[in-house]
Structure 1
């Protein structure tokens, strides 16, 4: 088996072979490091590489196999951690921002620690735009990350470094985070599976503010298979006392869900969320052709009018006001935690798209923000009313092919229509208002051989349903043969 073949094995198969003694963790980590070294110049997927540390951990992992120690479900498997919501003790935690490039943290995020306790070996921390503030991955710290399918097009964001690394075989699995589609957008742009679980399935130590407001953000996964994501979620989820919103352990079995039938499920399909989003006809066609897979699996699909009674502009304003307040809060937190006033002292090290949001957030009052929450509530109620009749909702993930890396905030027009705002080319961010489990799954390719993602949304708490549908689709419509050699 060549190193390329080895690097494209599922993480679950890597772990099984290591446990059987058929595969050395040292050889596996070396193969991935070689691939990273060969491709990082093109993809720029990593902010921090941990090659020597990973090699030492691989030696320890091999010794554990030889001494017949009890091994975790990801023992010896190389992974990447997004440098956002992914702290690692003693390492830089930049969040993609140049003013924070020398910040070293003294704790490890709960999810990261759980992955390491399961035997995973971190080979690096991946690229993200500053604080995950947009749907493209570039920053003033290390630059941009393109999709491996076309180096002139974006990998999406904000988990673009993780998605590109997974698609390119640099790692089999990686963490992401999602506050507006940041797992699902790059999953679609890079042809991988991206998952954002029900809000607080994965616990966080939110500091200094434990009581986060919408848009609800969460640690998620990027992987080349649904089964690999299931193992990651089995490891990362579960309550933690330091997260006041953490969901209780209600017996969710992600791995078991991947074997579950979806026969008899009723699937609602919306091509554009009641015309809130302009969608390129080719994207719509690819997604609609892929819906036949659900029929094959015994589920019924019906195109629906959801009944959304707020406008794009109202939702957009609500999202951006909350995001601006979040950005202003991040700046205050960095002053309190590290003595770094990004807005006051480091404006020249941040893009205007960040400093403008901080400035706007400082001016938004509590009453104004509260008024926006009524719009969020209306959308939340509408989506959950839909789930009283349907088991799942399916939409395109993106409105277009992955756009050029030259775009500042996405394309100005789609299919001759003006794009309504910087968020108008991905159909993901409204579902960060609903606290629902959401996935993006590869649906096919455009005529330019670029990947198209299909978004699957389930009711809150019903993560298993989304995993069952995603895994069933994958068996009928596999994509693991389609990754490009970079």
Structure 2
């Protein structure tokens, strides 16, 4: 029975809880056992505290027994990326430079909203130091591996959260995304990941990566992603960028067909080299959207690669995160992070403002593009997972991670919602993801389309062999 529990979505668990057919304690215990059994092979968690998790599960069980449930996720285990403040656990962001005690007794908006809705925190998941790159390894915890092949990378920076969902260690997980950090591990690990519109999900403290940074859900199904968004979008006054709450029920908006929806299908944005297996899988997905009634047109959005501008903005953020750290603390850090931050620290104000200008032009172009097309369909990534412990694949012509994730970072610059949904496997059996991008604040439509696709071509019965 415990194995069946690990395969259940949050939606299914809640149905069983309400019918008093399952206990949050049994579910939490099963997932803690799965972490204990498998995590030594993938290193998805940097902190697990069974006593705290089980105590909260017991409190949830009592609420169900007394018909006094709390919010939308009562009793559902959630894996929390170790960049989100949790009152009972330290948050060190994979760094030896953070005083763990200074982070206690504080909650990020996401964890505060989850707590109000009765979640069971199952543990903290791994991240590269300060979430700075698209793979997951750091000086404190080491390397996080892919659940489908532990010799490969999980992606990053929310790699631990991707691993946790794929292996049934938690049905829901929190991630952050400033250049692809939810969508990259979602694609590499074969799970669903949403980078919401900037401002849709409150996030605090303010990220050193500025408006590039988004917080969002990672799940096994789009349905669970929508459920989690109903919680994460709750208001929090501490995020001064957050938009006024609109009361959208993302779960209720999943229904209905896609007839009349205009989807722009861009297999390479006009300039990306894409692995043939991925190109084929995403082309097949485009045909599925046609079958579902959408009007799918092959067209590129018409912008050039904004890599240089993104680099100024992102690595400027890394330099910002380290601005108060002296040489002693820097000596304890990922040396590649120190290197990119020091390089970015030499940018002039006009270099940075030029990148901001390019970002604003890109936002305007995409706003105009979405006057003609409801959604943009692309691959999430142009390649599948490569060797673990590396920032780039072997023999890659560049040294930095953004060069292999050209489909993700443009939409951090624009602040649009981007959803990664599994759409197949390559010849090595590694997951492939498609990406759906919508106009800013049209997250509900992105989720609706992703759900329709997943209902038509579900891969949700296929778990990694490591799962057991």
| TM-score > 0.5, shorter chain as reference | yes
Contact 2:264–2:300 (CA<8 Å) still a contact in 1? no
Q: Distance in 2 between the 1:440 and 1:377 partners?
A: 24
Runs of 4+ in 1 over 4 A off after TM superposition: 418-421
Moved more, 246-255 or 451-460: 246-255
User: How far apart are residue 208 of structure 1 and its match?
Assistant: 8.9
Contact 1:190/1:451 (8 A) holds in 2: yes
Give the aligned partner of residue 456 of structure 2: 476
2:442 aligned to which of 462, 480, 485: 462
Q: 2:347 aligns with which of 364, 368, 378?
A: 364
Q: Is the 8 A contact 2:167 2:463 kept in 1?
A: yes
Gap change, CA 1:432 and 1:124, over 3 Å in 2: same
Deviation at 1:317, TM superposition (A): 1.9
Alignment partner, residue 9 of structure 2: 10
Offset of residue 322 of structure 1: 1.4
**Normalising by the residue count of structure 2, what TM-score does the alignment of the two structures yield?**
0.95
Equivalent pairs counted in the alignment come to: 464
Query: Compared with structure 1, are the counterparts of its residues 421 and 143 closer, same or farther at alpha carbon in structure 2 (3 Å cutoff)?
Result: closer
> Conserved in 2, the CA contact under 8 Å of 1:393 and 1:458?
yes
Alpha-carbon contact 1:11-1:77 (below 8 Å) kept: yes
Partner Cα separation in structure 1 for residue 301 and residue 392 of structure 2: 28
Residue 295 (structure 1) aligns with: 290
Corresponding residue number in structure 2 for 1:79? 78
> Are the structure 2 counterparts of residues 347 and 178 from structure 1 closer, same or farther at C-alpha, using a change threshold of 3 Å?
same
Where structure 2 has 5 or more consecutive residues not aligned to the other structure, the ranges are: none
Q: Could you say what secondary structure the match of 1:234 adopts?
A: helix
User: 1:232 — aligned with what?
Assistant: 228
Aligned pairs (5 A) from 1:339-378: 341=325, 343-378=326-361
Asked if 1:281 is matched to 2:272, the reply is: no
Contact kept in structure 2, 1:183 and 1:220, CA below 8 Å = yes
Q: Which runs of 5+ in 1 are unaligned?
A: 336-340
Q: Distance in 2 between matches of 1:170 and 1:254?
A: 25
Match of 2:96 in 1: 98
- Give 1:158 shift: 0.5
Matched residue, 1:381: 364
SS in 2 for 1:254: coil
Q: Cα RMSD over matched residues?
A: 1.7
Task: Map 1:323-334; keep pairs closer than 5 Å.
Answer: 323-332=314-323
1:137-194 CA deviation, whole Å, 9 max, x = no partner?
1111111111111011111100010000100001111000000010000000010000
Matched-pair contact (CA < 8 Å) for 1:272–1:278? yes
Q: Which residue is 1:135 aligned to?
A: 134
Separation in 2, partners of 1:468, 1:71: 26
Instruction: Determine the C-alpha separation between the residues in 1 that align with 2:391 and 2:196.
Output: 29
Q: Secondary structure at the match of 1:152?
A: coil
The reply to whether residue 316 of structure 1 matches residue 307 of structure 2 is yes
CA contact (8 A) 1:73 1:119 kept: yes
Mapped to 2, the partners of 1:227 and 1:35 lie a distance apart of 23
Residue correspondence of structure 1 range 407-486 to structure 2 within 5 A? 407-413=390-396, 418=397, 422-426=401-405, 427-486=407-466
Larger mean CA deviation between 442-451 and 361-370 belongs to 361-370
